[in-house]
């Protein structure tokens, strides 16, 4: 089975329309508790694609009833992706956790940035990511309409020390949060310089 990457996303915006759009993007079918990549594509594109084993369609055709590889690669990236989403009318309080195969879902983050920056051109999408092995772990920021930066944490997770130190993993997450803040600070500095 592929390694699982967890990506934790925070949306910084004052516009309720951003929260409304997030709710639309992460809408699930009744009875489902998490959004998958196919739901997201359908919600963005207004399509009704399905998995062959999750449809009552007798004549399911992958060429017609499933997105092309190009569309998947453009909007999603990894071969699978699931989102745990808790809605709030204030975007910064929307809880977005993405689980994906192998790597950070950069195409999905870019898709989210493209869609949301059309609503709020001062938006900041920030967060951290960690592989289940903690290699890689890092942070990212997408800002305004055309800024992005991502950086892996420049330290290796020490499993032996984690066994001995009850606070090791907590400290690891603190380092990720510091890296995330440094990327956001660099973006804000860039934004100030652009405004001059």
- Given a cut of 50, whether residue 166 has pLDDT beyond it is yes
- Given a cut of 80, whether residue 187 has pLDDT beyond it is yes
- Given a cut of 50, whether residue 1 has pLDDT beyond it is no
Compute the average pLDDT of residues 160-168.
95
- Given a cut of 90, whether residue 50 has pLDDT beyond it is no
Question: In the chain, pLDDT over 90 holds for what percent of residues?
Answer: 82
Q: What is the pLDDT of residues 95-120, one digit of tens each?
A: 999 999 999 999 999 999 999 999 99
Q: Provide the H-helix boundaries in the chain.
A: 16-25, 37-45, 62-65, 69-75, 106-117, 159-164, 168-195
Q: How far is CA 53 from the centre of its chain?
A: 26
Give rounded-to-5 percent helix, strand, coil for the chain. 40, 25, 35
End-to-end, the C-alpha distance of the chain in Å comes to 50
3-state secondary structure of 3: coil
- Given a cut of 80, whether residue 61 has pLDDT beyond it is no
Place of tokens 């951290």: 128
* Predicted structure pTM score: 0.93
């Amino acid at each position: 089975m592929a390694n699982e990457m967890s990506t934790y996303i925070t949306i910084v915006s004052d516009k309720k329309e951003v929260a409304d759009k997030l709710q639309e993007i992460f809408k699930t079918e009744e009875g489902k508790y998490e959004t998958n990549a196919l739901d997201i594509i359908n919600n963005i594109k207004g399509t009704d694609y399905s998995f062959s084993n999750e449809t009552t369609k007798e004549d399911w055709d992958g060429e017609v009833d499933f997105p092309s590889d190009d569309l998947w690669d453009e909007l999603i990236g990894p071969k699978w992706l699931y989102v745990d989403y808790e809605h709030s009318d204030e975007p910064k309080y929307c809880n977005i956790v993405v689980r994906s195969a192998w790597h950070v879902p950069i195409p999905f983050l870019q898709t989210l940035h493209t869609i949301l920056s059309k609503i709020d051109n001062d938006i900041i999408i920030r967060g951290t990511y960690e592989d289940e092995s903690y290699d890689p772990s890092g942070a990212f920021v997408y800002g305004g309409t055309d800024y992005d930066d991502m950086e892996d944490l420049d330290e290796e997770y020490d499993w032996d020390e984690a066994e001995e130190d009850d606070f090791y993993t907590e400290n690891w997450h603190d380092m990720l949060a510091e890296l995330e803040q440094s990327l956001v600070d660099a973006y804000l500095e860039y934004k100030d310089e652009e405004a001059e």
